[in-house]
Structure 1
Amino acid sequence: MLLSLQAERNWESLCLMLEDVLEDQSPRQLLALELGSGTGQHVIRFAQKLPFVTWQPSDIKKESLDSIKEYIAATHEKNVLQPVHLDASESWEKWAGLSCNSCDIIVAINLLQYSSFKTAQGVFTGAGQILRQNGLLITYAVYAINGTITPSCNEHLDAELRQMNPEWGLPDIDVLRQLAYGNGMRMERMIEMEEYYKCLIFRKL
């Protein structure tokens, strides 16, 4: 079982955000896809706090998929499906057999800043196809805004990410807004989180 200290620190604020965003949806059972589930800590917490949502975790790394399976086995959470291998940079038809208009929610926690632009494009193209009408794409990251990164600690974070991989870096909110628009979605809300993180809420029109 893998352990992320950051996931242990931020799961509570993420759960509160999801409870707030999904407050009016709770009378019905929802299906949520998590892209880049990592260790599996988040998806287990989400399942515990939001029992009206069935969660489909996914990742591209075998060690992450194994860790998620171990968390599911250890917690016996009934509303978390077995994890699937999913590369968001690939066309949505390859997204683990998920069909068009099949998901109510797609969540990407700390995925976009550790990804190439091709992956970001894939996330929005896939969400535009797989989300049901009025479905939500929720992304959590540190962002640039219209090409500007503030404050200086976020500039350092962007530089560190690009040093690790030249294709990584803080995603730009304005670019994501355009990607959303081009795939039948609109940015509905921006929620300020801890340590300059933000959640962006996109709705499929």
Structure 2
Amino acid sequence: MIVAPAAERNKDPILNVIKHLIGPGAPAVALELASGSGQHTVHFAHSLPNVVWQPSEVEERSLESISAYIAATRVENVKQPLNIDCSQSWETWGGLKQNFFDLIVNINMIHITEIKCTEGLFKGAGQLLKPNALLITYGPYAVNGVITPQSNIDFDLSLRKRNPGWGLRDVSILQKFAEESGLIFKRMVDMPANNKCLIFQKRSSV
């Protein structure tokens, strides 16, 4: 199993945001895109037994880690991970059904992938979420063209040196992708370590 220190630090703050959005009683189905090690999925599943979680990843090592976490923790409300590449059309995402999910979660992916992955994330969410259902993204962002504090500026520069297609995305770009995909930007929640949760909601059916 992969142990990601950042996931250990942020899993409870992100869980608290999710708990405010999804009640503890009603059954729900959630998709985590880019689940990484699997630490988030099993942690969320333990605290929200009313939610069935579908993790996903594109890297084989991460897919194996997710399955190992599911086995080690014996959670019963987490499905085996799907191999999903967000840069590809949602139709390639393991046969997932349109208008099926109550929640989609994406943690620390947007700044370490090409912009095509971010655009694909929003296009997929627009198809897979039920009307009025939610997309939550977590990570560091630029706001109105400004990155703060200095540690995030330095982080952005280091990412762009590693790969010119990476880097902190401006919230305005994500809002544009959301609008194009039938989602509305609801609010931004400040999180520890200079990160944020962005909450989007799919429009109601016309």
Structure-1 residue corresponding to 2:75: 77
> What is the Cα deviation at residue 54 of structure 1?
0.4
> What is the Cα deviation at residue 165 of structure 1?
1.4
Structure-2 residue corresponding to 1:192: 190
1:24-63 per-position Cα deviation (integer Å, ceiling 9, x unaligned): xx33211111011111011000001111110000000000
Provide the aligned C-alpha RMSD in A.
0.9
Any stretches of 5+ residues in structure 1 without a counterpart? Answer: none
Aligned mates of 1:8, 1:121 — CA distance in 2: 27
Aligned mates of 2:192, 2:98 — CA distance in 1: 34
> What is the Cα deviation at residue 149 of structure 1?
1.3
Structure-1 residue corresponding to 2:112: 114
Partner amino acid, structure 2, of 1:137: L
2:15 alignment partner, SS class: helix
Alignment of 1:8-157 (within 5 A): 8-23=8-23, 26-157=24-155
Partner amino acid, structure 1, of 2:201: R
2:53 alignment partner, SS class: strand
1:51 alignment partner, SS class: coil
Identity of aligned residues (%): 46
Aligned mates of 1:125, 1:181 — CA distance in 2: 10
Aligned mates of 1:21, 1:29 — CA distance in 2: 13
1:8-30 per-position Cα deviation (integer Å, ceiling 9, x unaligned): 1111111111111223xx33211
TM-score when scaled to structure 1? 0.97
Aligned mates of 1:114, 1:192 — CA distance in 2: 20
Structure-2 residue corresponding to 1:5: 5
Aligned mates of 1:137, 1:81 — CA distance in 2: 19
Aligned mates of 2:61, 2:34 — CA distance in 1: 12
2:126 alignment partner, SS class: helix
Aligned mates of 1:149, 1:75 — CA distance in 2: 38
Aligned mates of 1:68, 1:27 — CA distance in 2: 26
1:166-204 per-position Cα deviation (integer Å, ceiling 9, x unaligned): 111001101101111111110111111001100000000
Partner amino acid, structure 1, of 2:93: W
Aligned mates of 1:161, 1:20 — CA distance in 2: 32
1:147 alignment partner, SS class: coil
